[in-house]
Structure 1
Amino acid sequence: MERLVTPIPPEPTPPVLVHMLYTDHHGWLQSWLRRRLGDQHQAADLAHDTFLRLLVSRRLPQPEQGRGYLLQIARNLVIDLWRRQRIEQAYLQALASADEQLSISLEERAVIVETLLRIDRMLDALPAKVREALLLSQFEGLGYSEIATRLGVSLGSVQKYMTRAIQACYEVMYSE
C-alpha cells in the first residue's frame, strides 16, 4: 500500500518575506505617512527608510505582525524627523540672532546640526536623574552638593551620575 505524503512547503526565506511585506504594506504605509506628515516626498522617503531599517535590523516579523511592526518603525522615524526639524529650527534661530560676523558654511551647519542631534539622542537615552545632574551642572553651573540637594540624592550618587553622563558625552564626541 502506497502512502500519500503531502510535502511541507518550505519556510519563506528572508528576502521573500521582505518582498511580501513590501508588496503587502508599502502603499498603505506610505499613505499613513503622507497623512501624518502632510508631505508626499517625505512620506516616500520615510517609507523607504522604514524598509531599509527592517533590512538592516535583520529581524523580520511574522506575516500577521507585519503591519504593526512596520508602523512602529515608521513612528520612530517620524519622531526622529520631528526632533531633527525642531533642533535645526532652534539652531537656525540662534544663528539668526547671533552676530552677523559669524559666517558658517552650509557644510559646517550640517556638521553642527548632526552633532546637536547626537547630543540630543544621548541626553534622551540617559536616565532622568543622570540627565538632570548633567544639565544642572553645565547649564546652571551648580556644584555637586547643590545638585545633590536639588535632586534629593547623596553626593556619591551625583558623582556616579556625572561620571555616567561624562562617559556618554565622550562616546558622542569620539564615536564616528
Structure 2
Amino acid sequence: MIPLIADNTIHTLYTDHNVWLRNVLRRRVGCSETAADLAQDVFVRLLGRQYLPAMNEPRAYLATLAHGLLIDHRRRQALESAWLESLSALSEDDVPSPEEQVLIIDALARIDALLSGLKPRVKEVFLLSRLDGKPYPIIARALGVSLSTVEKDMAQALRHCYQVLMG
C-alpha cells in the first residue's frame, strides 16, 4: 500500500492516464461527456482513499475502477428509464415535482445498490414482502416455493442489508 500523504501520486496518475481512460470509456459509453464524468469520478474516488495499493499496472487498476463506475452508471440509467416509464402512467396531478423525482431516483439507486449481490429469488422475496407488503404464504405460492424457503430467503436478505448498512 502506498500512503497518500500528498496528492502528487494521484496527480501523476491523472496526468499520465486521464486521456487514455477517457478514451477507453468513450468507446464503451459512446459519449465523450459521460466518459469524462466517469473518468473524473475514478480520480475523485482515489482522492477519497487513505491508501493506494502498489500498482504495477496503473491502467489495469484504473480500468477496474472505471468498470465498476460504468456498471453503476448503467444501472442508474436503467432505473431512471423505468422511473420515467412509470411516470408516463400517472396523471399530471400525481406526477411528483422535479425535486421529488431526483430524491426518488436517488432512493431507488440506493435500494438497488443495497440489494445487489442477492440471488434473484432472494431479492424478489424481499421486494414482494417489503415493497408490496405481501405476506409470506402468498409470496410462497406466487413463487412456487415453500413457506420455509421464503422465510430463509427473507432472513438472508435482511442479514445482507444489515451487513451492507453496518459495514
- With the shorter chain as reference, the TM-score category is 0.7 to 0.9
Tell me the TM-score normalized by structure 1: 0.74
Say whether the 8 Å CA contact 1:133–1:158 is kept in structure 2. yes
What's 1:72 paired with?
A: 64
Matching residue within 140, 145, 149 for 1:147: 140
Q: Which amino acid aligns with 2:144?
A: R
Tell me the TM-score normalized by structure 2: 0.77
Cα 1:68–1:123 shift into 2, 3 Å: same
The separation in 2 between residues aligned to 1:100 and 1:168, in whole angstroms, is 38
SS, match of residue 101 in structure 1: helix
What's 1:47 paired with?
A: 39
Q: How many residues align?
A: 162
Say whether the 8 Å CA contact 1:25–1:67 is kept in structure 2. yes
SS, match of residue 59 in structure 2: helix
Q: Percent identity?
A: 38
Q: Which amino acid aligns with 1:143?
A: Y
Say whether the 8 Å CA contact 1:50–1:73 is kept in structure 2. yes
- Structure possessing the higher radius of gyration over alpha carbons: 1
1:49 CA drift (Å) = 0.4
Which stretch has the larger CA shift, 54-63 or 113-122?
54-63
The separation in 2 between residues aligned to 1:40 and 1:53, in whole angstroms, is 20
Q: Which amino acid aligns with 1:28?
A: W
SS, match of residue 98 in structure 1: coil
Say whether the 8 Å CA contact 1:34–1:40 is kept in structure 2. yes
Structure 1: which 4+ aligned runs deviate by more than 6 Å?
167-172
The separation in 2 between residues aligned to 1:62 and 1:14, in whole angstroms, is 15
Q: Give the RMSD, CA atoms, in angstroms.
A: 3.4
Q: Which amino acid aligns with 1:77?
A: L
Gaps spanning 5+ residues in structure 2: where? none
1:73 CA drift (Å) = 0.8
Whose RCO is larger (CA < 8 A, sep 6+)?
A: 2
The separation in 1 between residues aligned to 2:120 and 2:51, in whole angstroms, is 30
Deviation string 1:12-40 (CA, Å, 9 cap, x unpaired) is 96533212211211110011111211211
